[in-house]
Structure 1
Amino acid sequence: MTGLVASIKAVFKLPNDDPRKTLAVALVLCLACSMVVSATAVSLRPLQERKAALALKSEIVEVAGLDSGELDLDEAFAQIETRLVDLDSGAFVEGADPLSYSYRDAAKDPAASTSLSEADPAGLIRRPDRMPVYLVRDAGQLDTIILPIYGAGLWSTMHGLLALAPDGRTVKALTFYEQRETAGLGSEVAGERWLSEWPGKVVLDASGKPVIEVAKGDVDPNAPNAEHRVDGLSGATLTSNGVTNLMRFWLGPQGYGPFLATLSGRERG
């Protein structure tokens, strides 16, 4: 250690125009800057996580239809029942805190997720074994089922929330709150106009198979399968395909399919 300090002192005693001293000064500045950036990132992480949690809570309240302005965010969110679901069985996970659960962290943990290998149309790589669901009740009866969904688009992983009617098949609302698709094209996946086409669409057929599809071009409203199809995003075929793939994955047997199939008649109202 003493020898290292002596070497550093010797370098800094060199003339200012010596390339070795210039390189040493640059290295020291780079090291100092990296330490400052790292310390700032660490100190800001809790604030960023709180802001992200609040933003997600706001999205859930909005897609639940509880953003009338009569209640503040916490009061509105308190009306929503948050549960964890075991995706393989479709059953609620008892004794776990769904509010502290992160499906993003779970997807990175081999002990809490499942490798999808080749059966991965949504581009997830690993699927969390558990996912949160949000339930809205009216006079004790189930009114809305809100499912977090995500999957690969052209440039990014798109994260959204799908709100279904108590039948588990009919869309009430959809939002994509996180995406980095091509501006003016794929980014319209989060646009109000396109999202407004989703309410009333039927995502599953009578047997429970996912049939929802983002079409290539516009949907003929008189076509026999129009209720299962949504207009494509102009100039964004791969983003449109990504939405179809993630929808069908999360509504299928590896996603919320078992959960939706086991919702009791009583729960569905």
Structure 2
Amino acid sequence: MSANNDSIQKTLLVAILLCLVCSVIVAGAAVSLKPIQQANKQLDKNYNILLAAGLVEEGAKPSADQIEQLFADKVTAKVVNLSEGRYATAAELDEIKASGLIPQGKGLAAYNQRKASKDPAFSSKLPGDEDIASIKRQAKFAAVYTVENNGVVEKMVLPVHGYGLWSTLYGFLALEGDLETVVGLGFYSHAETPGLGGEVDNPSWKALWKGKELYNSKGELAIKVVKGKAAADDENSVDGLSGATLTSKGVSNLVQFWVGENGFGKFLATAKGGA
């Protein structure tokens, strides 16, 4: 009997030691690979900013070095105070950096708005009647990305997100320098149904956004996704996704939220005034 007990104890000891060794290996791999994963996420984010702004062609993805160089040459990242509709002050940027929302040694393009929206110190809960995009909490600061020529903004890319049918869609909305005309809209993260809501990734549907106007002739916010086909002369409406009514509504809501008063609306009004 004692021999059997010894055998069981040795088996358990070996199993425990094996688990510990495997845990150390997995943990070590996770730590060592984290910087690479973060770099790849930032690279993909930068690529999608370039894509929304029309600086790279749909389907022709450049190399990592080309993306980094093009982004560095063409795009300037800035942080916006959403509630006050202005660029963040130096003191605010120092506070953001101290919080870790911008990793040490990284530029403003690395600002983590998604993480900020979960931090009570850097976000606020949205009242239900204002939360048309169903994001629950809104970060107090957001990054914007400008394409400039001799100090004049030719294009501006805004980060947008909101709930569709099954998931939160994260993407970028690019505007012309007038801050009223859409250049492009694209999503880099979502879990909508392939072939239905997933058609937000279809280049043909994305192309429908180009040239659409945020505001109608009265200056009212009017950009939206409609059910079915938009009228040919409708400058504010985009065709709905066939068989994906809730995803279409979600995209319409999130775009309206982020260019509206509770999103970038105040900032866009200030920026159009030349500030």
**Aligned-partner SS, 1:137:** strand
Which residue pairs with 1:74 in the alignment?
68
Which residue pairs with 2:242 in the alignment?
234
**Aligned-partner SS, 1:205:** coil
Deviations 1:213-268 (A, max 9, x none): 1111112214xxx211111111111111110110111011110000011114447x
Partners of 1:30 and 1:216 lie apart in 2 by 55
Partners of 1:250 and 1:27 lie apart in 2 by 52
**Aligned-partner SS, 2:86:** coil
Partners of 2:139 and 2:4 lie apart in 1 by 54
1:84 lines up with 2:79 in the alignment: yes
Which residue pairs with 1:217 in the alignment?
228
Residue 93 of structure 1, aligned match among 88, 99, 103: 88
Residue 159 of structure 2, aligned match among 142, 148, 161: 148
* Pairs within 5 Å for 1:245-256: 245-256=253-264
User: Tell me, which stretches of 5 or more residues in structure 1 are unaligned?
Assistant: 1-9
Q: Percent identity?
A: 41
Note if contact 1:171-1:203 (Cα within 8 Å) is conserved in structure 2: yes
Deviations 1:197-221 (A, max 9, x none): 0001112235654321111111221
1:202 lines up with 2:213 in the alignment: yes
Note if contact 2:144-2:159 (Cα within 8 Å) is conserved in structure 1: yes
Partners of 1:110 and 1:208 lie apart in 2 by 34
1:244 lines up with 2:252 in the alignment: yes
Partners of 2:4 and 2:25 lie apart in 1 by 23
Partners of 1:122 and 1:38 lie apart in 2 by 37
Note if contact 2:160-2:170 (Cα within 8 Å) is conserved in structure 1: yes
* Pairs within 5 Å for 1:65-214: 65-67=54-56, 72-78=66-72, 79-95=74-90, 96=93, 98-118=108-128, 119-206=130-217, 208-214=219-225
Taking a change above 3 Å as real, the CA distance of residues 260 and 207 of structure 1, as seen in their structure-2 partners, is farther
Q: CA deviation at 1:42?
A: 3.0
Q: CA deviation at 1:13?
A: 3.0
Mean alpha-carbon deviation: is it higher for 27-36 or for 156-165? 27-36
Which residue pairs with 2:32 in the alignment?
43
Deviations 1:135-188 (A, max 9, x none): 112343221111010111111111111111122111011111111110111111
TM-score under structure 1 normalisation? 0.82
Note if contact 1:67-1:76 (Cα within 8 Å) is conserved in structure 2: no
**What amino acid sits opposite 1:245 in the alignment?**
N
Partners of 1:147 and 1:27 lie apart in 2 by 51
Partners of 1:206 and 1:41 lie apart in 2 by 54
Which residue pairs with 2:5 in the alignment?
13
**Aligned-partner SS, 1:121:** coil
Note if contact 2:52-2:184 (Cα within 8 Å) is conserved in structure 1: yes
Count of residue correspondences:
251
**Aligned-partner SS, 1:84:** strand
* Pairs within 5 Å for 1:54-69: 54-67=43-56
TM-score under structure 2 normalisation? 0.81
**What amino acid sits opposite 1:76 in the alignment?**
L
Q: CA deviation at 1:39?
A: 3.9
Note if contact 2:179-2:272 (Cα within 8 Å) is conserved in structure 1: no
Which has the greater radius of gyration? 1
